[in-house]
Amino acid sequence: MTLKPVLLLMIPVGIIAVAAYGYWQGTPDDVVFAVRNRNIAAVKTALARDPQAVHTKVYPQAYERASARQEFVSRFGRSPWEGRYVIHDAITQWIDPLPMIELLAAAGADLSVRLNGRTLLHVAAHDGSVEAITWLLDHGANVNATNTCDDGCPELGQTPLFDLQNFHDEVTPMLLEHGADPLVRSANGQTALHVAAVVGTIGGAFQLCRYGTDPTIKDGQGRTAQDLALAADRAGRDTERRTLFYGPGEQADWLKPGGGCEMLARRVATTGAPVGESDATEVFSAYACARDTRHCSARK
C-alpha cells in the first residue's frame, strides 16, 4: 500500500474518531443548551460523563465555541465570560425550575456564586421566580446579602429586596416574611422604597411600608422616596407597567409626609411587629378612597 492511500484512509477514520470523542466527552456548550432547554436526561448524561460539568460557565452567546472565545480574548484582552454559570440559567427558568435546580445542586453546583456581584437570590428575585426564591430560602440563602461590585456601581450594597424592577409584588412579602430588612441602605443611601418609588410598584411599596420602612429617609442626594416618585411622574411613567390603576401621582401620594406609608411605619415602630395584612389594607383603602371616590365602595 502506498503512502497516499493510507493518508486518504486516515482522514475519514480521524473524522469518525473526533466525532466519537465529541459524542462521548461532550462540550460545556452542550450542558448549557441542555439546562436551558430543561432537558433533565441530557444534563444527567453530561454529569455522569463529567461531574465537573455542573460548574460550566455560560458565555454571552452559549453557542460560542472555544475558538470564538479565544478570538475575543485576543481582540479585547479579556474573557467574554461575565460570571454566569449553568445554575444561574436553572434559577431563572420560568416553567417548573425545581427539577433542574435540585439536579444541579445535588451534583455539587456552587450556590454561593455571584453574577455581577449579585447572589442567586438577587437574580431569582429580579426575575420573580417564586419557586426558585422559595427553594433558595429553604436552602439557607441569605435574604439580606448585599450586592458587590468593583467599580462603585449604584447597586452596591443592595439586597434582594431592592430587585423590584419587574413588578413582582408577590416576591416582596416573601422576602420580608423571611427577615429581609426594609431599612437597609445601599451605597447611594437608598432603601428598597426608593426603588419602588422610581419603578412605580405601589404593591411593593405597600408591603415595604407595612413591614416598617421609613419613607422619610433621604438618599445620598437628599431625596426621599416621594421625591423620586414625583420626579418619575414628571418624567412620564410607562402606564402599561403599573401594578395598580389609581392614576398619576399614586405613588407620591402614598409616600407623602403623613401619608399611608408613614402611618403604617409608625405602627411598626410602636409595636415592633409588621402591620397585619387586613389592618394595612384598611389604611390603603382609605388612601385609595381619598384619591378617587370610585374606590370608596370597597370600604362600606
Which of residues 96 and 154 earns the better pLDDT score?
96
The pLDDT confidence band at residue 300, using thresholds 50, 70 and 90, is very low
The pLDDT confidence band at residue 191, using thresholds 50, 70 and 90, is very high
pTM of the predicted protein model: 0.81
Position 80 pLDDT exceeds 90: no
The residue length of the chain stands at 300
- 3-state DSSP call for residue 84? strand
Question: 160: closest CA among 189, 138, 184, 135?
Answer: 184
- Reported as a single tens digit per residue, the pLDDT across 46-63 is 999 999 999 999 987 665
In percent, the amount of the chain with pLDDT more than 90 equals: 51
Tell me the three cell numbers of residue 111: 450556590
Q: What DSSP string runs through 119-152? A: -HHHHHHHHT-HHHHHHHHHTT--TTPPP--SS-
- Reported as a single tens digit per residue, the pLDDT across 221-246 is 999 999 998 988 777 665 444 444 44
Residues 6+ apart with CB under 8 A from 226: 197, 215, 252, 255, 256, 257, 259
Quick one: CATH architecture of 169-300? Alpha Horseshoe (1.25)
Domain ranges of the chain: 169-300
Instruction: Answer left, alpha or beta for residue 190, where phi above 0 means left and psi between -120 and 50 means alpha.
Output: beta
- Strand pairing report for 57-58 and 84-85: antiparallel
Q: What mean pLDDT is reported for the chain?
A: 82
Of 23-32, 33-42, 47-56, 178-187, which range is least confident? Answer: 23-32
